[in-house]
């Protein structure tokens, strides 16, 4: 029997008054046995509970009380200060766990004034107060570490600790000190972590990648982010290691890349961010199980991806850099299955917004001068030996637009084809649905003004239907199918519709006007007509 076990056996047999005296007066000398077999002070051991589960089988269990030795000592251990989660604050004099921080500031202290050469190695902070249990940050891993980190971050948020401490050398003859940052934020950045899904991820790498758009997809991110913002720019600098960066993206991919999320292009920012750090998943989850990367198709076109998914393929839409990285790591190019073809280019490749300026309000400012498109004719999608016409398609980071096909579509239909391609390319400030709403709301007055600018009623009607003949022919009913009308100029056709339908023209074409973004009133005899 060890001396420690024998001592506790004797202490248990002592009168209660003696036991309590030991707990109150000699607590600093009493040692408690942990599960790792070490005898330590009461502030170096925990009960199972809030931080570390009793069933924890990881190395975290080593900081728990050894129940085999202390099964009868619960109340006395509580009086010694043992608990499942430390609370409160403690004045710290032993700075051995802050050695890196202390060395940095001593060196900084000397560099500020070389007259300190005699005593800079003895410079230290005065009155450093840290949360009780701060030593466990270096001992706990995984989810227990995230729990402790969360409590300390909350204390910082509440202002329970000062932002600065005095640092220097103080004696009766020497009073030489400076203000430096309190060490708690640095300590958290170096040793703390937060949970992404069921994975503990180091604060250093999360703060380093704080502005990655994929982070905003995490649950409760907007609640957590302000606390993490306060940790930026800590001194001395804490740099995320390559292993931590890899672990971050693996945790994000595991959490966000669900089978449902892979059914569309909502994860493009996740793949782009991971690719910037050279990270590619080895497999992707589906309802039928994990699919290895060698069976995953990649493309730059949202339209191609949608079509391939309908055929049962696992497809990821990527930007140019990520696309090359995934292919280099074994993913298959969707061009093996399908690719675009066209009869001729109707103009040189140029800036997207020069060709489609109405999209300016929804395109990200940083790509407005780089996003490119190429006007072509006869755009078709080739799948195996079959092909079908498509009005637009993202291909090799350039939007292919068939101006002829787009001209036959209503404004709403054009946007329904264009916006998903731009969203998948990462060119939109918003998702496609929100961009569509913005363009509809923001442009309605401009579109109506364009219609009113027509000199004659016929010209106004033609503008109102998007300069398209098809809705005018449909408005004429059976008359519109007459062969000779196919050769009538669009303006003359609009005048014929007005003559044929008279006041009923607008009612007949109401759905077309709505698709052109004009938002026609529900009833034409209301004040909304005049607007």
* DSSP per residue, 253-294: HHHH--TTGGGSSTTHHHHHHHHHTT---SEEEETTEEEEGG
Rounded distance between C-alpha atoms, residue 392 and residue 376, angstroms: 9
271 vs 311, which has greater pLDDT?
271
Rounded distance between C-alpha atoms, residue 213 and residue 270, angstroms: 7
| pLDDT attached to residue 303 | 79
Rounded distance between C-alpha atoms, residue 277 and residue 298, angstroms: 18
466 vs 286, which has greater pLDDT?
286
Q: What is the mean pLDDT of residues 386-413?
A: 87
pLDDT band at 129 (very low <50, low <70, confident <90, very high): very high
| pLDDT attached to residue 443 | 64
Condensed to tens digits (0 to 9), the pLDDT of residues 61-88 reads 999 999 999 999 898 899 888 999 999 9
How high is the mean pLDDT of the chain? 87
The yes-or-no verdict on residue 527 having pLDDT over 50 is no
pLDDT band at 510 (very low <50, low <70, confident <90, very high): confident
Q: Give the HSE-up count for residue 467: Cα atoms under 13 Å, Cβ half-sphere.
A: 6
The yes-or-no verdict on residue 126 having pLDDT over 80 is yes
Rounded distance between C-alpha atoms, residue 176 and residue 155, angstroms: 30
DSSP 433-446: HHHHHHHHHHHHHH
395 vs 386, which has greater pLDDT?
395
The yes-or-no verdict on residue 38 having pLDDT over 60 is yes
How does DSSP classify residue 320? H
pLDDT band at 173 (very low <50, low <70, confident <90, very high): low
pLDDT band at 292 (very low <50, low <70, confident <90, very high): very high
Query: What residue ranges do the domains of the chain occupy?
Result: 3-187, 340-441, 454-530
pLDDT band at 149 (very low <50, low <70, confident <90, very high): very high
pLDDT band at 259 (very low <50, low <70, confident <90, very high): very high
Condensed to tens digits (0 to 9), the pLDDT of residues 440-450 reads 765 666 667 77
Q: Kindly give the interhelix angle for 268-276 and 242-256, rounded to the nearest 10 degrees.
A: 170
Rounded distance between C-alpha atoms, residue 56 and residue 300, angstroms: 45
Q: What is the mean pLDDT of residues 38-51?
A: 94
pLDDT band at 187 (very low <50, low <70, confident <90, very high): very high
Quote the percentage of the chain above a pLDDT of 70.
94
Record the tokens describing residue 355, joined without a space: 């060709």
Record the tokens describing residue 280, joined without a space: 């590619």
Q: How far is CA 107 from each of CA 118, 121, 123, 149, 214, rounded to the nearest angstrom?
A: 13, 8, 10, 29, 39
Q: What is the mean pLDDT of residues 502-514?
A: 78
| pLDDT attached to residue 171 | 72
The yes-or-no verdict on residue 223 having pLDDT over 70 is yes
Give, in degrees to the nearest 5, the angle at Cα 264 between 262 and 269.
Answer: 80
The yes-or-no verdict on residue 530 having pLDDT over 70 is no
Q: Which is nearest to 76 in space by CA: 27, 6, 43?
A: 27
Q: What is the mean pLDDT of residues 243-261?
A: 96
Rounded distance between C-alpha atoms, residue 369 and residue 173, angstroms: 65
The yes-or-no verdict on residue 337 having pLDDT over 50 is yes
Q: What is the mean pLDDT of residues 398-404?
A: 93
| pLDDT attached to residue 524 | 43
Per the DSSP assignment, residues forming a β-bridge with 338 are: 383
Rounded distance between C-alpha atoms, residue 281 and residue 283, angstroms: 5
Q: Kindly give the interhelix angle for 432-452 and 457-464, rounded to the nearest 10 degrees.
A: 170
| pLDDT attached to residue 444 | 65
473 contacts 492 by C-beta, under 8 angstroms: no
Give 503: exposed, middle or buried? Use CB within 10 Å, 0-12, 13-18, 19+: exposed
Model pTM score: 0.70
| pLDDT attached to residue 172 | 59
The yes-or-no verdict on residue 410 having pLDDT over 90 is no
DSSP 376-388: EES-EEEETTEEE
Q: Which is nearest to 267 in space by CA: 223, 321, 339, 216?
A: 216
């Amino acid at each position: 029997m060890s001396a420690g076990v024998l001592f506790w056996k004797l202490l248990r047999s002592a009168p209660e008054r003696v036991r309590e005296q030991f707990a109150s007066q000699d607590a600093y000398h009493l040692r408690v046995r942990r599960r790792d077999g070490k005898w330590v002070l009461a502030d170096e051991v925990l009960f199972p509970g809030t931080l570390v589960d009793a069933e924890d089988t990881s190395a975290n269990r080593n900081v728990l009380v050894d129940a085999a030795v202390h099964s009868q000592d619960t109340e006395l251990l509580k009086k010694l200060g043992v608990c499942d989660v430390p609370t409160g604050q403690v004045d710290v004099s032993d700075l051995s766990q802050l050695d890196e921080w202390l060395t940095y500031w001593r060196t900084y202290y000397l560099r500020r004034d070389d007259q300190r050469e005699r005593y800079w190695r003895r410079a230290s902070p005065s009155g450093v107060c840290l949360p009780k249990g701060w030593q466990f940050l270096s001992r706990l891993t995984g989810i227990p570490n995230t729990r402790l980190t969360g409590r300390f971050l909350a204390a910082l948020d509440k202002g329970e600790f000062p932002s600065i401490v005095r640092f220097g050398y103080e004696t009766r003859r020497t009073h030489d000190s400076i203000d430096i940052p309190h060490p708690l934020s640095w300590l958290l950045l170096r040793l703390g972590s937060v949970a992404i899904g069921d994975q503990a991820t180091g604060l250093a790498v999360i703060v380093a990648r704080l502005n990655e758009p994929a982070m905003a997809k995490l649950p409760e991110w907007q609640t957590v982010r302000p606390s993490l913002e306060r940790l930026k720019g800590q001194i001395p600098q804490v740099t995320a290691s390559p292993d931590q960066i890899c672990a971050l993206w693996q945790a994000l991919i595991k959490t966000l890349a669900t089978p449902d999320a892979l059914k569309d292009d909502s994860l493009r920012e996740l793949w782009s961010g991971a690719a910037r750090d050279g990270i590619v998943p080895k497999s992707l989850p589906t309802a039928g199980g994990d699919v290895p990367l060698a069976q995953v198709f990649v493309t730059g076109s949202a339209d191609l991806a949608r079509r391939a998914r309908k055929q049962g393929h696992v497809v990821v839409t990527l930007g140019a850099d990520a696309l090359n990285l995934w292919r280099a790591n074994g993913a298959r190019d969707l061009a093996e299955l399908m690719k675009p073809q066209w009869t001729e280019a109707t103009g040189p490749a140029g800036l997207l917004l020069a060709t489609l300026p109405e999209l300016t309000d929804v395109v990200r400012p940083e790509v407005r001068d780089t996003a490119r498109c190429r006007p072509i004719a006869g755009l078709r999608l080739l799948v195996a030996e079959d092909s079908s016409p498509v009005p637009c398609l993202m291909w090799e980071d350039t939007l292919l637009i068939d101006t002829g096909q787009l001209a036959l579509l209503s404004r709403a239909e054009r946007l329904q084809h264009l916006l998903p391609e731009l969203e998948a390319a990462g060119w939109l400030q918003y998702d496609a649905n929100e961009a569509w709403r913005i363009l509809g709301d923001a442009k309605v007055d401009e579109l109506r003004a364009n219609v009113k600018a027509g000199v004659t009623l016929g010209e106004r009607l033609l503008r109102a239907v998007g300069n398209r003949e098809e809705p005018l022919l449909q408005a004429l009913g059976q008359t519109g199918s007459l062969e000779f009308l196919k050769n009538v100029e669009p303006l003359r056709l609009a005048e014929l519709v007005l003559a044929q339908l008279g006041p009923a023209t607008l009612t007949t074409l109401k759905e077309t006007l709505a698709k052109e973004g004009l938002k026609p009133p529900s009833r034409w005899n209301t004040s909304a007509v005049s607007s």
